[in-house]
Amino acid sequence: MVTTEKHPLDGLYSKRGRNISPPRVGDPSQSAAMISFIYGFPDPDSLPAASVADAAVRALESNGKWALQYGATMGAKPLVDVLLEKLKRDQGIDAKPENVMITAGGSQAVGLIIDLFVDWDDMVLMEAPTWMGFIWGLKNVGAKMQAIPMEPDGMDLTALRSTLEELRADGVTPKMIYIIPNFQNPTGISMSLAKRKELIEIAHEFGTIIFEDDAYHDLRFSGEKIPSIYSLDPYGLTIYTATFSKTMGAGMRLGWLVAPKEVIQHLGVLKIDGGTNVFGSYVAAEWIPENLPEHLTTLREIYHRRKVLMIDALGKHMPEGTTWTDPDGGFFVWVTLPEGLDTLELLPRAREMGIEYMPGGSCYPDGGGENQLRLSYSFASDEQIEPGIEILATLVKGELMESASK
Ligand SMILES: Cc1ncc(COP(=O)(O)O)c(C=O)c1O
């Protein structure tokens, strides 16, 4: 519970409300005061404020009557049209209007899918580690979670199969397998094409959903594009979500779902919001065709440069026994420190020294990751990256020396 004190409303909470986890730590505004590698925030200086302002004026001049009105539940038509084109061009997804829903960021899409499919005590499978937002969403509904280890080319599918077989022997069909296929949050790993295809066959064999969260799709800066699971799936078992948060701007709160039309219809009844961010949708529909492709080129350059700076700095400064991933896109590098170090315990000292990172344990639903951490290179400036990693290395080396002398 959030508080241990008795309150007159205590008896009225829903089952979900009663079982709330402790408050989630972290105040994003504090991050600006230090070298922050903790959050998956887009680069503040490249947010396209001027061109979005122009698009807002155009949207109001040409469509103000509708941009400021309630909107269609599935999403404002101009944005749906623009999205369908983008999906075909960039994601290789040939969807129809009845297959898509505009959502308040990827987070609402995830929340809606959990709402539609997951009851209290239902089982959900996911990569280990995974995006903590998904873990939070599942905790909120009392779901059971089983995490399947990651390999350098994505989820360990042998482990997935044996987990599914064990669950089947107990009469359990997991509601979904949650996958972040490109530049996964938090590891930066991408799932190979061969594994994407095998995963589809496994999901088909065991009768479950693949929930494909492609939040970082547009931010590939090296390597070959890999087709989405959704576009490869002949069985219609995949639900796809992504977001404009990491590209146009997280403050737009615009994301989307692509799913079989029956799923979209169900969600249309569950989602009660008078139309998702109608004004923002009209602005985005104006902004995207003219600005998104060029903006993505700029962002890929920025994040590629920062990733290289971070990987180089890790190589230069971190002590022996430390390993890290080297992503082809997205925001994250995943670092594994020597056994015995505890990144959650070290975080307050890291903050005192002027840096912050995401402790690895937050990214596992069921324990583990104590000696791991996620570093985001999206929010810190070019100039901050090497000094920040040097501080991290000093902290880790000091801790290693201290534990060696115990
Ligand atoms: C994997 C993943 N999915 C979804 C989201 C949610 O994004 P949004 O800001 O659009 O709600 C994030 C954001 O960090 C993410 O990393």
Query: Do 299 and 350 sit in the same domain of this protein?
Result: yes
**Nearest CA to 91 among 235, 256, 245?**
256
The predicted structure's pLDDT at residue 406 = 73
Q: Is the CB of 242 under 6 A from ligand 1?
A: no
Q: Which of 260, 291, 322 is at the close of a domain?
A: 291
User: Measured between alpha carbons, how far apart are the two ends of the chain, in Å?
Assistant: 37
Q: 27 pLDDT exceeds 70?
A: no
Query: Do 327 and 386 sit in the same domain of this protein?
Result: yes
In this structure, which residue's CA is closest to atom 2 in ligand 1?
215
Q: Which of 268, 291, 314 is at the close of a domain?
A: 291
For the segment 226-238, the average pLDDT, to the nearest whole number, is 97
Q: Is the CB of 105 under 6 A from ligand 1?
A: yes
Question: How far, in Å, from the CA of 106 to the mean position of ligand 1?
Answer: 5
Query: Do 225 and 118 sit in the same domain of this protein?
Result: yes
In this structure, which residue's CA is closest to atom 14 in ligand 1?
40
Q: Which of 276, 291, 306 is at the close of a domain?
A: 291
Q: Is the CB of 276 under 6 A from ligand 1?
A: no
**Nearest CA to 213 among 137, 269, 294, 284?**
137
Q: Is the CB of 249 under 6 A from ligand 1?
A: no
CB-based contact 200:230 (threshold 8 Å): no
For ligand 1, mutation pick of 102, 185, 189, 376 (most atoms within 8 Å of CB): 185
For ligand 1, mutation pick of 101, 102, 107 (most atoms within 8 Å of CB): 107
HSE-up of 65 (CA within 13 Å, CB side)? 1
CB-based contact 306:389 (threshold 8 Å): no
Q: The domain spanning residue 284 has which CATH number?
A: 3.40.640.10
For residue range 359-372, what is the model confidence (pLDDT) as tens digits? 999 999 988 999 99
Question: Given the CA of residue 245, which atom of ligand 1 is nearest to it?
Answer: 10
> How large a percentage of the chain has pLDDT more than 90?
90
Query: Do 232 and 378 sit in the same domain of this protein?
Result: no
Q: Is the CB of 133 under 6 A from ligand 1?
A: yes
Residue 189 covered by a domain: yes
Residue 61 covered by a domain: no
Residue 27 covered by a domain: yes
Q: 3-state SS of the chain?
A: CCCCCCCCCHHHCCHHHHCCCCCCCCCHHHHCCCEECCCCCCCHHHCCHHHHHHHHHHHHHHHHHHHCCCCCCCCCHHHHHHHHHHHHHHHCCCCCHHHEEEECHHHHHHHHHHHHHCCCCCEEEEEECCCHHHHHHHHHCCCEEEEEEEECCEECHHHHHHHHHHHHHCCCCCCEEEECCCCCCCCCCCCCHHHHHHHHHHHHHHCCEEEEECCCHHHECCCCCCCCHHHHCCCCCEEEEEECCCCCCHHHCCEEEECCHHHHHHHHHHCCCCCCCHHHHHHHHHHHHHHHHHHHHHHHHHHHHHHHHHHHHHHHHCCCCCEECCCCECCEEEEECCCCCCHHHHHHHHHHCCEECEEHHHHCCCCCCCCEEEEECCCCCHHHHHHHHHHHHHHHHHHHHHHHCC
C-alpha 143/C-alpha 149 separation (Å) is 19
Domain count, the chain: 2
ω into 186 cis (within 30 of 0): yes
Query: Do 108 and 224 sit in the same domain of this protein?
Result: yes
Query: Do 167 and 271 sit in the same domain of this protein?
Result: yes
Residue 1 covered by a domain: no
Question: Given the CA of residue 250, which atom of ligand 1 is nearest to it?
Answer: 9
C-alpha 217/C-alpha 226 separation (Å) is 10
Question: How far, in Å, from the CA of 19 to the mean position of ligand 1?
Answer: 24
C-alpha 74/C-alpha 246 separation (Å) is 22
The predicted structure's pLDDT at residue 403 = 85
Query: Do 275 and 387 sit in the same domain of this protein?
Result: no
The predicted structure's pLDDT at residue 366 = 87
HSE-up of 53 (CA within 13 Å, CB side)? 4
CB-based contact 248:46 (threshold 8 Å): no
C-alpha 315/C-alpha 334 separation (Å) is 14
Q: The domain spanning residue 338 has which CATH number?
A: 3.90.1150.10
Q: 19 pLDDT exceeds 90?
A: no
Query: Do 265 and 370 sit in the same domain of this protein?
Result: no
Q: 275 pLDDT exceeds 60?
A: yes
pLDDT bin (cut points 50, 70, 90) of residue 17 is confident
Residue 148 covered by a domain: yes
The predicted structure's pLDDT at residue 7 = 83
* Domain span holding position 381: 10-48+294-401
Query: Do 126 and 192 sit in the same domain of this protein?
Result: yes
Cβ atoms within 10 Å, residue 158: 12
Residues in CB range of 300: below 8 A, 6 or more apart? 219, 220, 221, 329
Q: 102 pLDDT exceeds 60?
A: yes
Q: 2 pLDDT exceeds 70?
A: no
Query: Do 302 and 283 sit in the same domain of this protein?
Result: no
Q: 146 pLDDT exceeds 60?
A: yes
Residue 56 covered by a domain: no
Query: Do 130 and 171 sit in the same domain of this protein?
Result: yes
For residue range 164-222, what is the model confidence (pLDDT) as tens digits? 999 999 999 999 999 999 999 999 999 999 999 999 999 999 999 999 999 999 999 99
Residue 287 covered by a domain: yes
**Average per-residue pLDDT in the chain?**
95
Question: How far, in Å, from the CA of 300 to the mean position of ligand 1?
Answer: 18
Query: Do 253 and 358 sit in the same domain of this protein?
Result: no
C-alpha 377/C-alpha 294 separation (Å) is 21
What is the pTM for the complete model shown?
0.96
User: In the block, which residue shows the tokens 């064990």?
Assistant: 166
For residue range 320-342, what is the model confidence (pLDDT) as tens digits? 999 999 999 999 999 999 999 99
Q: Is the CB of 359 under 6 A from ligand 1?
A: no
CB-count burial class (<10 Å; 0-12, 13-18, 19+) for 161 = middle
C-alpha 390/C-alpha 334 separation (Å) is 16
Question: How far, in Å, from the CA of 285 to the mean position of ligand 1?
Answer: 21
Q: 1 pLDDT exceeds 50?
A: no
Question: How far, in Å, from the CA of 107 to the mean position of ligand 1?
Answer: 6
In this structure, which residue's CA is closest to atom 3 in ligand 1?
215
Residue 266 covered by a domain: yes
